[in-house]
Every structure is written in C-alpha cells, then in structure tokens.
Amino acid sequence: MTYSRGMDDTARRRALNEDGVVILRNFFDGTEPGDLVDAFREIFRQQMRRHDLAAADNTGPAFDRALANLFQKSMPSYLAAAKLTQYLPALHRLGVSERLLGTLSGLGLRQPVISTRPVVHIVSEALKVPGGYHRTPPHQDWRSVQGSLDAVVAWLPLVSAAADNAPLEVIPGSHRNGLLPSEPHAFGNCVQAAAIEGETFQAIEAEPGDLVIFSMFLVHRTGAAQGDGVRWAVSFRYNNLDEPSFAARDYPNPYIYKPRDDLLFDGVPDRVDLDRIFGDETNGD
C-alpha cells in the first residue's frame, strides 16, 4: 500500500488503481479532527446532562465512561445523538472542502458528487447495540451505493486508529475483482467468506489528520483489536459525474429519503413551548 508523502497526482492515482487505496499523511490540519470530535461529544453531552449523568463535561476516558453510562441508561437517547452527529455543519464542510474535492479530482474523479450523507463511526466494546452489528464485516461499499464505477470513500480517523485500536483493514488489490457475491448479515452488506478465502487483510494504521481514500470495490472491514475507549472516525462517499456508465444508468441512487406522515410526539408543540420560543422578550417595547 502507498503512503503519500509528497506524491504528485499521477503517483497517487497509480497507487489507487493498483492497490485500491492510497493513504495521505497529515492531509488535514491537526486541529480539525479534534474540533470535530469535540463537536460530536457535545451532542452526547446534551443527553448526558438531561439524564443527570456524572462526568458529562469531562474529556478523554472520563467522557468515554459517561458515554457508556448513557448507552446503558437510555439507548434511545444514545442512538438519537449518534444519528445527529451525521448532520453537523462542520462535518459537511469538511467533506466538501476545496482541498478534499481537488484531491479527488486529481485522483480521476473530475466532477465528484456526493453519493450519501457522511458516516460517523463510533466503535467501542462498551457500545454494542443488541441485535445490531458492532464492527463492520468484510464488505464493499459499491454494493450499497451502486454509483459510478470509479466511486471512492474518503475515510479519516478523529483519534488514533493504530493496529490495536480498531483500525481500518483492507485487502489490497481486491477492487480489481469487481463486485463480489454477498451473504446476509446485520450490517446488510457482507462479502461471502468463500469469495475472499485465502486473502490477507492489512491494517491501515492512521492518526488524526491522515486521510485514506479507497475504491468502493475494495474489500474492507473494521479491525477487531481494541482496548478501552472509543475509536472515532468519519467517512465520505463520492461518485464521479464524468464516469460514462453512471450517466448511462441515469445516476442511480438506491437510498430512500422521505418523511413520516405521523407525528413522532403527541402534544408537541404546545402553547407553552411556542411562547417560550416566540414570546415577546421586549416586554411590550
């Protein structure tokens, strides 16, 4: 696998074509990942305070313990907060930054277009949702996106993703095998074990500020090794408007986005709430 240090666009594109993945060290400013994970934590802190959980305002291991306490006390509140992290403006700004889009263009996606909303990856032994999945199994993102054939994922850790902290694991070169058969899984998109039998996964050790770009056909998974604490990462997915088959298939998008017709909470809003929001704060002036 190629770790980009001073590589030009041609070398980066060659690495992406050959291995299916390229790693760009120190791509983002050192403060950006930290600021983003702090913003994510604040979403959870609001729920921690609502549930009167101690250590809500702490950072580091103390915050991780408080997060686990929120998970145990109110899983609906935890899951709602986890979902909301995907809608932070700061996260979306990162995914459409000129530098990132310019890098994608240099890799061959001349007109990158967003395929799905950003994904926030929160991995911890203490945050296993019953009946769900904990770490992603071997999979290919193209099966769920079905967009341009040169579609890519941009993945970046917000904390250290060393070999012992749930790193991204990939099978270099597996993208050249095309779309592999899948089998049922709680994750919804798992490559059949027989299709990758004998293949070797390689861990990508990455630090905050690093950027990993890989083909949506690359087989990858979340590494199993992890100690205490939370591994935070985010990923963005892009199609290429210039890829001929994408237009020929009428820009396919298998994701369904629509509102529910029913009200989620009875009695909301009530008059007291509306007066609190829209009441006259000038006392008649």
User: Hey, what amino acid is at 128?
Assistant: K
Angle between helices 60-73 and 31-50 (to 10 degrees): 40
Question: What is the model's pLDDT at position 282?
Answer: 54
CA dihedral 62, 68, 69, 72 (to 10 degrees): 180
Q: Give the number of residues written for the chain.
A: 285
Question: What is the model's pLDDT at position 3?
Answer: 55
Helices vs strands, H then E, count in the chain: 9, 12
Q: Please, which pLDDT band fits residue 227 given cuts at 50, 70 and 90?
A: confident
**202 has a pLDDT exceeding 70:** yes
- Predicted structure pTM score: 0.91
Reported as a single tens digit per residue, the pLDDT across 17-46 is: 999 999 999 999 877 888 999 999 999 999
CB 20 within 8 A of CB 177: no
Q: Report domain extents, the chain.
A: 2-253
The CATH number of domain 2-253, selected from 1.10.3720.10, 3.30.300.30, 2.60.120.620, 2.40.50.100: 2.60.120.620
Place of tokens 């277009």: 113
| Token couple for 88 | 């932070």
Reported as a single tens digit per residue, the pLDDT across 66-103 is: 999 999 999 999 999 999 999 999 999 999 999 999 99
